[in-house]
Amino acid sequence: MKVLVINCGSSSLKYQLMNPETKEVFAKGLCERIGIEGSRMEYEIPAKDFEIEIKQAMPTHKEALELVINAITDKEHGVIASVEEVEAIGHRVVHGGETFAKSVLLTEEVMKAIEENNELAPLHNPANLMGVRTCMSLMPGKPNVAVFDTAFHQTMPAKAFMYALPYEDYTELKVRKYGFHGTSHLFVSETMREIMGNPAHSKIIVCHLGNGASVSAVLDGKSVDTSMGLTPLQGLMMGTRCGDIDPAAVLFIKNKRGLSDKEMDNRLNKQSGILGIYGKSSDCRDMENGVAEGDQRAILAEQMFIYKIKSYIGAYAAAMGGVDAICFAGGIGENAAGVREAVIDGLDFLGAKLDKEVNSVRKKGNVKLSTEDSKVLIYKIPTNEELVIARDTYLSLIHISEPTRP
C-alpha cells in the first residue's frame, strides 16, 4: 500500500510517500517559500540515496503539489508510474478541538467541523485545509484522512485539561488545555511500551524536545497530561516561546510598553524562550556553543530550559504515582546528549540512573540510556510522526468514516 503524507504550513509543504505496513519510505521532501520569491523543492529517494533540489516558482500550494506529483511520477527519478498507485492521502491537522478524538476520513462535513476550530489554531488549520482541498482537486476520488496533533491528548481527564477560569469560558469559548505533538507522543510511548513487552500497566513520560517542545504523561498507553495548553505557547521554555509565565506579566508588559495584541503575541511566541534569554539565537546548538564559551546568558538559558523539563518530569511522576520510563525525542531530545544528562541528573530519588558513556555516543535508532541497575528505563527514541499519519490513514480507511464527537 502507498500512502502520501502531507503536512502543509502557510508557506511550506512537507511530503512522504510510504507503505504504512512495511514502513518503507519511497520518497520524501519539502517545498518551501510557497508564494514567496525563491521557491524551492527538495526531493529524496532514501533507498537509492538520491537527492535533488528543484528551484521553481510556486505561487500557491497547487503548484507545489503538482511539482511533488511530477517528481514521484518522473520517468527517470520517479518511484511510481502514476498517481493511481497512491491509495490514500494522510494530512497532518494541528487542532481538532474537542470534536475529534481520533483520525477521520475527510468529507465536506468533517472539513466544516475542522473550520469551526480554526480560531484555536489560526496559523495552522487554514493551511492544513488548503492542503486537503488542493489534494482533492489534483487527485480526485482519492480518500483523504485527517490526523490531528491534539487527538492523542483527548484522553486527559477534566482535572488535567481544565483551567481555573469562570466555567462559561470553557462551555462558551472552548478554553481548556488541548496539548500538541500528539502524533509524536503517541509514537514514542507506543514504541516504549513495545520495548517493555506491552505490559497491561505502564507509566511513561515522553519529552519531545525540539524548537517546539512538550512533555506528556502516558498512563497505560493513554495521555493523562501534557505541558502545552490551549495553544503551543504553554509549558516548557522553547526556542522562541516563553512557556509558562504569570498571565499578569503579559498585561503588565503590554501596558508598560504600549504594545498591540499582535505585538504582544509576537513577543511571547517569536521573541522569547531561548532567543529571549540568550539573545543571539533560538537554536539549542548555538546556546550550547555559548555555554562552552562561558556566555552567562547562554548558561542561564540552558539552566532555565533544563529546570523546566525536570519540573514537569517530577510533576508527572507524582501525578501517575511513579514512572517506569523516561523517553527523549525530537531534534534536541535525540541529539543533545548534554541536555539529556542534565535533565536526568538529580532524578536519583525516582530511581533514574543514566549510563553517561552510552549517552555520550551518538547512535541511530532506539537507544537504551539507563544503567542496568536503574529502576527507571531511559531511552532515546527517534520520533516518526509521518509513519503515525500513514498508519492512521490506512486504519481509517478500514475502520471509520465518520467524525468522533465526544
Average pLDDT for 129-157:
95
* Beta strand segments in 106-202, E: 144-148
Domains and CATH numbers, the chain: 3-148 (3.30.420.40), 193-385 (3.30.420.40)
Helix (H, G, I), strand (E, B) or coil at 124: coil
Distance CA 346, CA 217 (A): 20
pLDDT confidence of residue 123: 75
Cα–Cα distances in angstroms (integers) from residue 314 to residues 236, 308, 326, 331, 381, in the given order: 13, 10, 11, 22, 20
Q: What residues contact residue 81 under an 8 Å CB cut-off, 6+ apart?
A: 73
pLDDT confidence of residue 124: 83
Nearest alpha carbon to residue 15 among 2, 24, 27: 27
Nearest alpha carbon to residue 231 among 178, 161, 156, 160: 178
Torsion of CA 218, 224, 226, 228, to 10 degrees: 140
**How do residues 5-23 score in pLDDT, each as one tens digit?**
999 887 889 999 999 999 9
User: Where do runs of H (alpha helix) occur along 144-295?
Assistant: 158-161, 167-173, 182-195, 247-257, 261-270, 273-278, 284-292
pLDDT confidence of residue 401: 45
**Does 399 score more than 80 pLDDT?**
no
Percent of the chain with pLDDT over 90: 91
pLDDT confidence of residue 380: 98
pLDDT confidence of residue 405: 43
Average pLDDT for 218-245:
96
Distance CA 9, CA 123 (A): 8
Q: Is 323 left (phi over 0), alpha (psi -120 to 50) or beta?
A: beta
Which residue in 49, 149, 169, 345 is the catalytic one? 149
**How do residues 299-332 score in pLDDT, each as one tens digit?**
999 999 999 999 999 999 999 999 999 999 999 9
Buried b (16+ CB within 10 A) or exposed e, 368-401: ebbeeebebbbbbbbbbbbbbbbbbbbebbeeee
If pLDDT is split at 50, 70 and 90, which confidence band does 254 have? very high
**How do residues 19-59 score in pLDDT, each as one tens digit?**
999 999 999 999 999 999 999 999 999 999 999 999 999 99
Distance CA 3, CA 26 (A): 10
pTM above 0.75, yes or no: yes
**Does 400 score more than 70 pLDDT?**
no
Tell how strand 213-219 and strand 222-226 pair up. Answer: antiparallel
49 is catalytic: no
Q: Starting from the edge strand earliest in sequence, which strands make up the sheet with 325-329, in order?
A: 222-226, 213-219, 203-209, 325-329, 377-380, 367-368
pLDDT confidence of residue 274: 97
Average pLDDT for 349-357:
98
Q: What residues contact residue 360 under an 8 Å CB cut-off, 6+ apart?
A: 337
Average pLDDT for 70-74:
96
**Does 404 score more than 50 pLDDT?**
no
**Does 265 score more than 90 pLDDT?**
yes
Residue 187 sits at the vertex; the CA angle it makes with 185 and 189, to the nearest 5 degrees, is: 65
- Angle separating helix axes 182-195 and 385-399, nearest 10 degrees: 90
Q: How large is the greatest C-alpha to C-alpha distance in the chain, in angstroms?
A: 62
